[in-house]
Amino acid sequence: MMKKIINTDKIKSSFISSAGPLLPAGKSPEVGLGELFADVQGQNVYVDSKTFVDLIPIKRSKQLLREYKLAKKDPEFNLHEFVRRHFYELSTARSNEPFIANPNDTITQHVSRLWSDLERRNHRDKGSLIALPYTYVVPGGRFDEQYYWDSYFIMLGLAAEGKWTLIEGMIKNFAYMMRKFGFIPTANRTYLLSRSQPPFFSHMVRLLAGHKGKSAFIEYLPYLLREYRFWTKGRIKLAKQEHRAYARIVEMDNGVLLGRYYDNKTTPRPESLGEDTDTASEAIERDSERLYLHLRAGAESGWDFSSRWFEDPTDIRTIHTADIIPVDLNCLLYQLELTIVDSYRLLKQPLLARKFQKLADRRAAAINFYLWDDELSFYSDYNFHHHMRTGNLSLAGVFPLYAKIASTEQAAHVAARIEKDFLKPGGLVCTLIDTGQQWDAPNGWAPLHYVTIMGLRSYGYYDLANKIKDAWIGANKAVYNQEHKLVEKYDVTGGNGLGGGGEYPLQDGFGWTNGVLEALLAGTE
């Protein structure tokens, strides 16, 4: 029986992988459900706006809308009851039993048991959830889909346990989405198909190559190139655009092209409709469509939200993400370019390798020219509308060390600033400002700790890297010993250690916390 199940699973995976890209994606809930969607989200039927967009309708959208328009004419009509009868919540978990932490488990045993609970297999489109060919791991909590940049840090933990089949399946899912959509969306949801996330795909390929061999570079080169085209397309349109910016690329004053976060829509995010419309209603002096674009771009950055995107650091209504050249994004694109270089060298294509090496070198020089701030002795994002650096200090400023493009002197300044201002008893704050946003102080996040640790080690700052590592592991363990869980983000400054702020409650799970922690504990980072 087990053999039959496995074979059936392989057949379904093969079918989706081959036929899936040819099939159209379903409509995003705000499009397919129209008036019903607007009423449910507008009337706050659910506290969390993401709840409704993840529900599964029991009928086709057109039929459901007809029934809704008729039913709402009834004076006794109850919207919550209508939704309850016409939608259901689908768990894609492998077990219907809720995960229960064993207080006797060590933190490593807890993580190891959690991986199975966070595994998902979804071979059919279900509401807004898009089918994927292979099994994947989700972050946990409200996030029940395969997220882009989360997955790399999840893979670090899976690698520590030797779960390479699962890792490669997740990479193949991203390759599948590139074939189907032309890029890697934030996650496999229809309402997330207008934006991506920080481009860590090249890092996933390098991780796999460390296990599988250099053939991984050649196998995934077509997808590395698709990823690159997505982040750099639109060059021929720049001359006609205000501020010489189009989609995700910006032409700087010296002619070099750098990247920015962007989104292809200018409407409220369906999964955060209430939050976005509230922000717009309070920002009466701003064009709402432009404001929504900046909010969406902030979501693509993964830092949703942070004072690094605000003109007034304390006011989300001043968000202007799409006007900014981010340090982290351009370092990741530099690393993507170098991965393409390595792939072409393996294929003995020296001309193409030199082409991408030149692009990488120009990007590195531009990062050091535009994003290094001599006054701050730190890297800072750049506002290309105002032709000046934002001056916002954040852990994004460590990415040039992670990408190995900082000079020895620059690295020394960054390391000193990290130790002096960012390092707290439980690890690193992601900014130096407490605004109530989740990507600001006092919160610390697993991916930024990993990047910082690796970046500092690249320049020989092993003692500081280990100090940060020990502080972060200590914060994780302290919460685990008290709560028997691992969470999305931590208050690294003290208290009970539980992070806060943002648009939704603190989430358990939690994918990238588990992955980074396991890699650090295993010494495989």
Instruction: Single out the catalytic residue among 150, 271, 488, 491.
Output: 488
Structure tokens belonging to residue 356: 């991408």
Q: Is 488 a known active-site residue?
A: yes
User: Is the bond into 305 cis (omega within 30 degrees of 0)?
Assistant: yes
Element counts in the chain: helices (H) and strands (E): 20, 16
**Cα separations in angstroms, 38 against 30, 33, 34, 272, 361:** 7, 8, 6, 12, 48
Instruction: Write the DSSP string, 486-523.
Output: -BS-EETTSTT-B---SSSPPPB--HHHHHHHHHHHHT
C-alpha atoms less than 13 angstroms from C-alpha of 49 in its C-beta half-sphere: 22
Which among 320, 332, 76, 316 is positioned nearest to 196, based on CA atoms?
332
Q: Give Cα 224 distance to the centre of its chain.
A: 18
Burial of 49 (0-12, 13-18, 19+ CB in 10 A): buried
Among the listed residues 150, 304, 328, 440, the single catalytic one is: 304
Greatest CA separation for the chain: 73
Contact 309, 319 (CB under 8 A): yes
**DSSP code string of 53-107:** HTSEESS-HHHHHHHHHHHTTSTT--HHHHHHHHEE----BS-SSPP---TTS-H
> How many Cα atoms are found within 13 Å in the side-chain-facing hemisphere of 73?
5
Burial 398-431 (b: 16+ CB within 10 A, else e): bbbbbbbbbeeebbebbbebbbeebbbebbbbbb
Active site residue 304: yes
Catalytic positions are 304, 488
